[in-house]
Amino acid sequence: MKQTKPYQNLRVDRNSIINLEKGKIPPQAIDLEEVVLGAMMIDKKGVDEVIDILNSEAFYKESHQYIFEAILSLFENSEPIDLLTVSSQLKKDNRLELAGGDFYLISLTQKVSSSAHIEFHARIILQKYIQRSLIKISNEIIEESYDETKDVFDLLDKAEAKLYDVTQGNIKKSSETAQSLVIQAKKKIEAISNKDGLSGIPSGFDKIDKLTSGWQESDLIIIAARPGMGKTALTLSMARNIAVNQNIPVGFFSLEMSSVQLITRLISSETGLSSEKLRTGRLEKHEWEQLNVKVKSLEKAPLFIDDSPSLSVFDLRAKARRLSSQHGIKLLIVDYLQLMTIGGNNKGGNREQEISTISRNLKALAKELSIPVIALSQLSRAVETRGGSKRPILSDLRESGAIEQDADIVSFIYRPEYYKIDEWDDDDRSSTDGQAELIVAKHRNGGLDNLRLKFIKELGRFENIDDFDSPYEFHSKMNAAANDDTFKPDPNQAFNLPDNSDLPF
């Protein structure tokens, strides 16, 4: 019987050969890896320039990873770095043979004569590593996307988290000289001096803006209070002042209320119609006209509301970046911090560690987009159980001291009438009716103060307290206007009417 030779019947497809020739290999720069490692062993300056740019995984060749880890270990222990010490460290780690032995280390030092251009070479190595990381992540996403048992939103969350890890771990900002920073600071000061008003984003509240000079870019502002104090009402009032009055784009992320509920509260604030009337729809004819006229300015406002529930910090960063690039938002509001999650497979340990991670990421987001980020926060029950004054203090921040550390401004909302306190504890013993206090307890770049605001509960709205100090003054002004023959109502002017009151015209 005739024996068949192995592979005798194997057909070699010409197209397969062509495809093999065009086969893909992961992005790499082996020659530059050799040059960089050699330069690090012959010149300490080279180590200083690239040690914070690269990590061991950035090297494609495994032996190069071992060599870099040995150099990094010596650097962290403040020991000399040269051919002999690196070889000794590799022996100590039982990795000398895996790294190629002494002969290979010698060959690396012979490839270079100095550490010139080492930073440039290191950044190319980093770019290749990022490309490999993106390829790996993309392949994992493709593989998991074919799995019908996977939840698509979990996949999106994982993908966002992995891409974020690549960015955070590898894109590092280099230090700047004092000269370049002084020039930048002078330009900013000149721009502020030529600009009328505030240097930051105006909140619409005179006392707050006087203290802060407006919300400053890159700042993380925490507004904390117990439930029912008006955290959402205050930030909605700010968002309305900024977006409607100043035409400045604002992003509002609500994890507690739906977007329709929020816009209904804004309509109530804008029209002077109580939330109860808007919920029931029982409006008089003139109130319908009032509604249709007053909401026009709100419709045109550059206010963007996102009510995604259980929003992860990675989702928030992705959405905020899109809002910044597409709509140019200048302020971001998050309501509220404790309802956020880390997302992905990241486990921050206990809840306190998770909140710490979230607050750090919010501060990083403010710096990345160069906009102020206002995050609302709950306070612990210690305020309720504490005897004496019910004014919140920094230690009342719920679940994490990291919030206090990361924030540039920490403020609290305090309404004495919530605790059945009728008079302020000041010299005048004035009435607390319809008033609130914004307590600025931490201000990294400014002073501290207790600022009083007017709170209209029926409309869920905060105002400057000097607008109308009492309902009597409000009615006096309205009656005077109604009896004035020259008075002509402006349909674009919002009058904040108390409940069950009619317009004077």
Positions marked active-site: 256
Cα(36)–Cα(129) distance, rounded to whole angstroms?
Answer: 15
Place of tokens 């300015």: 297
Which letter, b or e, does each residue of 146-183 get, where b requires 16 or more Cβ atoms within 10 Å of its Cβ? eeeeeeeeeebbbbbbbbbeeeeebeeeeeeeeeeeee
Cα(255)–Cα(266) distance, rounded to whole angstroms?
Answer: 17
Task: Give the residues across from 374 on adjacent strands.
Answer: 221, 333
Cα(454)–Cα(237) distance, rounded to whole angstroms?
Answer: 11
Cα(318)–Cα(157) distance, rounded to whole angstroms?
Answer: 10
Count Cβ atoms below 10 Å from residue 8 Cβ, excluding itself.
7
Report the length, in residues, of the chain: 505
Closest to 417 in 3D by CA, of 378, 377, 456 = 456
95-103 contacts at long range (C-beta below 8 A, 24 or more positions apart)? 95/66, 95/70, 98/62, 98/63, 98/66, 99/63, 99/66, 99/67, 99/70, 100/63
- Which tokens hold the place of 218? 């890159």
213: phi then psi, degrees, rounded to nearest 5: 60, 30
Q: Which run of H or of E encompasses 439?
A: strand 435-443
Answer for the pair 154, 314: CB distance below 8 angstroms, yes or no: no
388 class by beta-carbon count within 10 Å (0-12 exposed, 13-18 middle, 19+ buried): exposed
Cα(335)–Cα(412) distance, rounded to whole angstroms?
Answer: 15
Answer for the pair 495, 461: CB distance below 8 angstroms, yes or no: no
Cα(198)–Cα(201) distance, rounded to whole angstroms?
Answer: 7
Q: Is 367 helix (H, G, I), strand (E, B) or coil?
A: helix
54-61 contacts at long range (C-beta below 8 A, 24 or more positions apart)? 54/122, 54/125, 54/126, 55/169, 57/129, 58/125, 58/126, 58/128, 58/129, 58/170, 59/33, 59/125, 59/129, 60/26, 60/28, 60/29, 60/30, 60/33, 60/128, 60/129, 60/132, 61/28, 61/30, 61/33
Place of tokens 């938002």: 329
Answer for the pair 348, 269: CB distance below 8 angstroms, yes or no: no
Answer for the pair 209, 203: CB distance below 8 angstroms, yes or no: yes
Beta-carbon-side half-sphere exposure of residue 263 (alpha carbons within 13 Å): 14
